[in-house]
Amino acid sequence: MQRRRFTMSALALTAAAAGCRPSDPGVIRLVSSLPRTGSAKQQSDTIVRGIRLAIAEAEGRVGAFRIEYLDLDDATAAAGQWTSEAEAANARRALQDPDVVAYLGTFNSGAAKVSMPILNLGDLLMVSPANTAVGLTKPGLGDRGEPEIYRPTGRRNFVRVVPADDLQGQLSAEWAWRRGIRRVVILDDNEVYGKGIADLFEERCRELGLTVLAHDAIDAKAQEFRSLMARVRSLGPELVYFGGTTQTKGGQLAKDMAGAGVEAILMVPDGCLEQVFIEAAGPANLEGRCFVTFGGLPPEKLTGKGMAFVEHYRARYGEMPEAYAVYGYEAAGVALRAVRDAGVKDRRTITDAALAIRDYDGALGRWGFDANGDTTLRTLTVSTVRDGRFVFEEVLEPDASPATS
């Protein structure tokens, strides 16, 4: 008897695992695929909160449909970061579930390269809140064959609400040039995002005539970088650029840089724009010497709908949103808008509706998608660290770039 009950429940479990839930015509489901275990959890937490806030503000409904949301993890505990296997499984899972109409993700550009071709087969809309690698959308800027190789059907299904790295890497170099900096050392974490942005930074530096003293990559699993920093110190740079994130040891690098007595300023991209970066590095090691670039305005500078977003976020979660929260909010907003515009529960129609968005009035201001599915937002801001907090410094506009020398 006991045994039979066990068999029955095992069968029931198998049936549930098999996803035999019947499709509900009144429901649309959003899924997100972000690294929910391991070191990037903090940043993915804020993105998920942004998504949940957007859904809550829509009161869980869009048009005639009820919204459901599923927060999938593309990291494994054993790896401590995203893995291709988990990302591929998430994409397949979303594709198979007929109620899913939008896939919000990924966090890591490398992961997007895995799921994009899979989702493309089903014309499932993919809205990324954080992928900045240029090759995902922009023809000619990434590797050979990009981005067509991610579109086996030849149709498009990927949009991103965050500006790509070509803007960030380039404007960072221009900012350094304007500050009178001529000698730089470039480091990166050897990841798709970090290396990509560091290479773009180096390219622009060379165009502007800055001296690149060295460009080396770190092992993001290493414990300390004292040897590296002793070498950097002997090179005597005015600026050290690190293409990487808090998770790939940005904090430790800043710490060892100060410890080794390197007197250069440190510049990092938006992957380090989170409070944990300051905590990891130790506020004193960053004070007044660290500059962070970020696509868009910092939360405290947002106006209109953006200000409302910050207020609602604070009311709901009891803290200021971290930089990426607004992109999670905006990504979910775009998906919901696409569903509303399409009016039917059909993946291709919804994807086309998203690609056709040209005027979106959201928390980031008024913007739209261009023909590649990239955001038209071109605002970049620089923040610095003062008293253990990120403080807004200036807005960088691509138009104000210095002439190529």
Partner 1 sequence: MSTEILLQQCLIGLANGALIALVALGYTMVYGIVRLINFAHGDLVMLGACLALSLVEFSGLTAAGPVTTWIGIAGLVLACGLFCGSLNVLVDRVVYRPLRGAPKLAPLVSAIGVSFIFMNVGLFWIGPADRSFPPLVPATNLLAGDRLQFTARDLLVVAIVVPLMVALTVLVRATPLGRAMRAVAQDPVAATLMGVDVERVIAATFFLGGFLGGAASVVHGLTITTIGFQMGFLNGLYAFTAAVLGGIGSVPGAVVGGLVIGLVRALSSLLVGERWTGAVVFGILIVILVFRPEGLLGRRTVDKV
Partner 2 sequence: MSERDAERPVRGRRSGPFWPRTRTWLRRHWDLAALALLAMAPAVVPALGGALGGQVTIVFISCILALGLNVMVGSTGLVHLGIAAFFGIGAFCHAILTVPTEPFRWSFLPAAALSVLITAGVGLALGAPTLRLRGDYLAIVTLGFGEVVKVSLRNLEQITGGMKGLNPVPPPAAGLRLGGVDLGMQFAVDPRWFYALALGVLAVVVVALRRLERSRLGRAWMAVREDELAAAATGISASRVKLSAFALSSALAGLAGCLYAACLSTTADPNAYDFNRSVMVLCAVILGGLGSIPGTLLGVALLVGFDTVLAPWADAAIQQSGINPGGSMLLSFSGWRLALFGFVLVLVMRLKPAGLMPSRRMAAELREARA
For the CB of residue 190, give the shortest distance to partner 1 in the complex, in Å. Answer: 6
Q: Which of 49, 160, 255, 345 is in the footprint of partner 1 by CB under 8 A?
A: 255
Using CB under 8 A as the binding rule, the residues of this chain from 214 to 243 that contact partner 2 are: 217, 219
Query: Does residue 234 bind partner 1 (CB under 8 A)?
Result: yes
CA dist 120 and 19 (Å) reads 21
Q: Which of 24, 39, 117, 214 is in the footprint of partner 2 by CB under 8 A?
A: 117
Using CB under 8 A as the binding rule, the residues of this chain from 58 to 87 that contact partner 2 are: 70-73, 76-79, 81, 83-86
Using CB under 8 A as the binding rule, the residues of this chain from 350 to 369 that contact partner 1 are: none
Using CB under 8 A as the binding rule, the residues of this chain from 143 to 182 that contact partner 2 are: 143-145, 149-150, 152
Contact status, residue 161 vs residue 331, Cβ threshold 8 Å: yes
- Provide the β-strand partners of residue 390: 385
Instruction: Give the residue from 281, 298, 365, 372 showing the smallest Cα distance to 330.
Output: 365
CA dist 220 and 217 (Å) reads 9
For the CB of residue 18, give the shortest distance to partner 1 in the complex, in Å. Answer: 29
Closer Cβ to partner 1, 72 or 342, answer by number = 72
Query: Does residue 260 bind partner 1 (CB under 8 A)?
Result: yes
Closer Cβ to partner 1, 224 or 370, answer by number = 224
Amino acid letter for position 292: V
Using CB under 8 A as the binding rule, the residues of this chain from 21 to 60 that contact partner 2 are: 36-37, 45, 48
200 to 219: interface string for partner 1, x by CB under 8 A: ----------------xxxx
Query: Does residue 195 bind partner 2 (CB under 8 A)?
Result: yes
Query: Does residue 203 bind partner 2 (CB under 8 A)?
Result: no
For the CB of residue 67, give the shortest distance to partner 1 in the complex, in Å. Answer: 29
Q: Which does 98 bind (CB under 5 to 8 A by kind): partner 1, partner 2, none?
A: none
The pairs formed by 336-345 with CB atoms below 8 angstroms and a separation of 24 or more are 336/54, 336/55, 336/58, 336/62, 336/67, 338/102, 338/125, 339/28, 339/62, 339/63, 339/65, 339/101, 339/102, 340/62, 340/63, 343/63, 345/25, 345/28, 345/65, 345/101
Using CB under 8 A as the binding rule, the residues of this chain from 37 to 76 that contact partner 1 are: 37-39, 41-42
Q: How many CB atoms lie within 10 A of CB 390?
A: 24
Q: Which of 1, 3, 5, 18 is in the footprint of partner 2 by CB under 8 A?
A: 18
Give CA 394 to chain center in angstroms: 22
Closer Cβ to partner 2, 100 or 181, answer by number = 100
Closer Cβ to partner 2, 36 or 255, answer by number = 36
Q: How many CB atoms lie within 10 A of CB 274?
A: 23
Residues across the chain: 405
Closer Cβ to partner 1, 282 or 365, answer by number = 282
Amino acid letter for position 245: T
Query: Does residue 251 bind partner 1 (CB under 8 A)?
Result: yes
CA dist 194 and 242 (Å) reads 8
**Dihedral angle at the C-alpha atoms of 297, 293, 162, 77, nearest 10 degrees?**
-120
Query: Does residue 315 bind partner 2 (CB under 8 A)?
Result: no
For the CB of residue 332, give the shortest distance to partner 1 in the complex, in Å. Answer: 24
Query: Does residue 93 bind partner 2 (CB under 8 A)?
Result: yes
Q: Which does 48 bind (CB under 5 to 8 A by kind): partner 1, partner 2, none?
A: partner 2
Amino acid letter for position 68: E
Q: Which does 83 bind (CB under 5 to 8 A by kind): partner 1, partner 2, none?
A: partner 2
What single string gives the DSSP state of each residue in 145-210?
A: TTTGGG-TTS---EEESS--HHHHHHHHHHHHHHTT--EEEEEE-SSHHHHHHHHHHHHHHHHHT-
Residue ranges of E strands in 189-264: 211-217, 239-243
CA dist 102 and 331 (Å) reads 10
Query: Does residue 92 bind partner 1 (CB under 8 A)?
Result: no
Instruction: Give the residue from 347, 346, 344 showing the smallest Cα distance to 121.
Output: 347
Both structure tokens of 158? 């990927």
Query: Does residue 121 bind partner 1 (CB under 8 A)?
Result: no
- Max CA pair span of the chain: 84
Where do contacts with partner 2 occur on this chain (CB under 8 A)? 14, 16-20, 36-37, 45, 48, 70-73, 76-79, 81, 83-86, 88-90, 92-93, 95-97, 110, 113-114, 117, 121, 143-145, 149-150, 152, 190-192, 195, 217, 219
Where do contacts with partner 1 occur on this chain (CB under 8 A)? 37-39, 41-42, 80, 190, 216-219, 221-228, 230-231, 234, 246, 249, 251-252, 255, 258-261, 276, 279-282
